[in-house]
Amino acid sequence: MDLLTIQHAFQQAKEQFSVADLISPDVKILFILESPHREEIKHHTPLAGSSGRSVSKVLFDGQQNTPLGLLLKENRDEESYCRLGILNVCSFPLQAAAIPDRKWREDHAEFVQAAEKVRVGNDKDVYRNETWNAFQETMLQDFKQRLKVLLNQPLVIVPCGRFAQKQFRLADVHSSKWRVVNDVPHPSYNSWAKERYRGQITEVVEAVAEV
């Protein structure tokens, strides 16, 4: 697939399958995640599934079981919640299984395959397959635009997992008003509760407590 075809399919996927970022004007801490999955598509909210539940448990000392995305959506007018935000690198699913329209998946099989390959190919910045490179570049341009809107916002930014960390680095968007918490794992499989990540997660929890 050439770049223009990729860009066209990307725009279609955005229009049909996007889950909007959760970012209020008062956001102070921004969690960057990969992309929506089935629960996020179902609820039209990022971090609405088990990973979001894992985040809530850690941030609120086990007192909250509602996934973070749903918690922020339901309490968007409360000061303690509107200071937390969620932004996905890609606003539509990168996994074929989460795209709800089977015919669309079949009609755009090469595009969907490229998305999945880029999703798991975090050991490389540039791929041998030009379709994968074209997809990544298109996705990065979209991601950059959403980051640049926040350049003047004082933020603690938390890229969660290898994919988000890689794409945030490649986006190369910086602000003197941002502080980045590095090496935070993706919250899937209850990883935020694991001992080996205690240092990073403690930094995140302390940042949340401060705001």
pLDDT tens digits for range 133-192? 999 999 999 999 999 999 999 999 999 999 999 999 999 999 999 999 999 999 998 899
Predicted pLDDT at 77: 84
Residue-wise pLDDT for 50-103, tens only, equals: 999 999 999 998 788 899 999 999 998 888 899 999 999 999 999 999 999 999
The arithmetic mean of pLDDT across residues 15-26, rounded, is 96
Handedness of CA 44, 46, 52, 55 (dihedral sign): negative
pTM: 0.96
Predicted pLDDT at 31: 98
Predicted pLDDT at 95: 97
Across 128-203, where does the E strand assignment appear? 155-159, 178-180
| 48 HSE (CA, 13 A, CB side) | 19
Q: 200 pLDDT exceeds 80? A: yes
Sequence-distant (6+) residues with CB within 8 A of 55 are 31, 47, 67, 68, 187, 192
Predicted pLDDT at 76: 86
Cα separation, 157 vs 2, whole angstroms: 33
Please check whether residue 160 is in contact with residue 187, taking contact to mean a CB–CB distance below 8 angstroms.
yes
- For residues 47, 151, 140, 190, the Cα torsion angle rounded to the nearest 10 degrees is -30
Q: 32 pLDDT exceeds 90? A: yes
Cα separation, 191 vs 110, whole angstroms: 32
Pairing label, strands 29-33, 155-159: parallel
At 147 the three-state DSSP class reads helix
Residue-wise pLDDT for 114-123, tens only, equals: 999 999 999 9
